Amino acid sequence: MIVLGIETSCDETAAAIVNDRREILANRVLTQLEEHKPYGGVVPEIAARAHLEHLDVLVAMAMDDAGLDFADLDAVACTGGPGLIGGVMVGTMTAKAIAFAAHKPFIAVNHLEGHALTVRLTDDVAFPYLLLLVSGGHCQILIVKGVGQYKRIGTTIDDAVGEAFDKTAKMMGLGYPGGPALEQLAKKGDPLRFGLPRPLRGRPGCDFSFSGLKTAVRIYLDGFPVEQQTDTVKADLAASFQRAVGETLIDRTRNAVYQFMNEHPGGTTLVVAGGVAANQYLQTRLTELTDQAGLKLVAPPIALCTDNAAMIAWAGLERFRLGEQDGLDFKPRPRWPLDPDAPKRPGAGVKA
């Protein structure tokens, strides 16, 4: 079984092909970083136009890499949401057009389901597992029980963790996206110099909050006249911030681990995915947690943790082999929670 996947929900234009032997036959990702850099963040209108300009070429390149024609495909999958709606429309229209012209089934994939199932493409991980999804747009803890079966047990009540990294890095003048730059700077700093809050630590439940942390960094920075905002001050702030994020994340994830082990005594694995999973310090802290709990930590390779189309092709394939597909009247969804029964909170999932 061979599936083409298309991803256009944020600032990566991507096309990929996978098969049911868990082989990635093509995986093309074009990042729009340079287009958005001058604005310090993703501009939806610019993103949509860039997807439109590049997507057909990327699909052609992916088909070429795999040495396949559309006729060789078993299905065409694309991100149907959630995400920036202009981009999702470009991807959905393209996928529908290919499916229609080549007489192939069309599958609209939830972008979050793509992240959630990636680990089954890269590793031998059986259901159920616990998933910590941490990126610029998402910050959730889910119990993944099966394809299409998700229980969200924690979410951010304000910023996503990558967003907190990016905003903190921006105020320290580190550019966009700030997460990787902040991690590098933190390596040179003293994580104990600045006392920062650990939002929600010790509270029951698995929700996160990061916006207060960012504000606390701002207040420290403002306390220094510009000429005293030296590299050392910034490195110490970066290290203190990263440590506070790590401790907050671990505290909330620990509660999730207990809940997961209670509800699924046979469960063995915590999966961490999303761009922030690239952070080595956070991975070390998470490994400490899973070692204590007797779980295994699995992180897909970073190129498949950040936005890509292989994860969309794979999630489409997982759904298709269960007999699912969508009609060509599918409407792109700017919001599309993985667990519609999860409690709604003000501000939660805004950037999903």
Q: Least separation, in Å, of the C-beta of 276 and ligand KG4?
A: 4
Q: Least separation, in Å, of the C-beta of 138 and ligand KG4?
A: 6
Tokens 């916006």 appear where? 211
Q: Which is nearer to Zn ion, 236 or 307 (CB)?
A: 307
Where do contacts with Zn ion occur on this chain (CB under 5 A)?
307
Q: Least separation, in Å, of the C-beta of 327 and ligand KG4?
A: 27
Q: Least separation, in Å, of the C-beta of 152 and ligand KG4?
A: 17
Q: Which is nearer to Zn ion, 55 or 112 (CB)?
A: 112
Binder of residue 165, out of Zn ion, ligand KG4, none (CB less than 5 to 8 A by kind): ligand KG4
Strand order in the sheet with 149-155: 149-155, 139-146, 129-134, 269-273, 296-298
Other CB atoms closer than 10 Å to residue 284's CB: what's the count? Answer: 10
DSSP character at residue 192: T
Can you tell me the distance from the alpha carbon of 340 to that of 204, in angstroms, rounded to the nearest whole number?
22
Identity (one letter) of the amino acid at 14? A
Binder of residue 183, out of ligand KG4, Zn ion, none (CB less than 5 to 8 A by kind): ligand KG4
Q: Which is nearer to ligand KG4, 176 or 320 (CB)?
A: 176
Binder of residue 290, out of Zn ion, ligand KG4, none (CB less than 5 to 8 A by kind): none
State the burial class of residue 331 (Cβ atoms within 10 Å of its Cβ: 0-12, 13-18, 19+).
Answer: exposed
Where do contacts with ligand KG4 occur on this chain (CB under 6 A)?
10, 135-137, 162, 165-166, 177-180, 183, 274-276, 278-279, 306-307
Q: Which helix (H) or strand (E) holds 152?
A: strand 149-155
Residue 29: alpha-carbon gap to chain centroid: 15
- 221, 229 in Cβ contact below 8 A? yes
The CB-nearest residue to Zn ion is 307
